[in-house]
């Protein structure tokens, strides 16, 4: 029996400088869960009713460890599944389009 959410993953294309999407497989007996709790570096960051989450407010070019556990309708936290390590992308370069000759639409 699979107690915790499994196959925790974050597609590389779903990771940018300040946010990341994570996905997981539902555990056996998921019907008894009220929600999932997502932890980032050991601290709870949110609860989710589906098997995916958007983590925002992250720092660019930073390593994180994500863990997901189910929470039963009785409020009891179920054993956590595997952990996922990810690194956000570095902040992209900001360009001022006016430096390239762009002008506003106003007359």
**Which pLDDT does position 97 carry in this prediction?**
81
Look at 13-17, 65-69, 81-85, 86-90 and tell me which has the smallest mean pLDDT: 81-85
- pLDDT score of 29 more than 90: no
Residue 87 to residues 16, 30, 46, 57, 83: CA-CA distances in angstroms?
Answer: 9, 29, 19, 13, 13
Residue 1 clears pLDDT 60, i.e. is over it: no
To the nearest whole number, what is the mean pLDDT of the chain?
89
For the whole prediction, is pTM greater than 0.85? no
Tell me the mean pLDDT in the region 8-34: 93
């Amino acid at each position: 029996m699979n107690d915790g959410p499994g196959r925790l993953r974050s597609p590389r294309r779903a990771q940018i400088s300040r946010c990341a999407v994570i996905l997981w497989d539902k555990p056996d007996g998921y019907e008894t869960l009220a929600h999932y709790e997502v932890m980032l570096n050991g601290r709870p960051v949110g609860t989710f009713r589906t098997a995916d989450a958007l983590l925002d407010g992250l720092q660019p070019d930073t390593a994180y460890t994500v863990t997901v556990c189910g929470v039963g309708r009785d409020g009891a936290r179920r054993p956590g599944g595997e952990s996922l390590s990810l690194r956000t992308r570095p902040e992209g370069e900001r360009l001022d389009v006016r430096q390239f000759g762009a002008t506003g639409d106003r007359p």
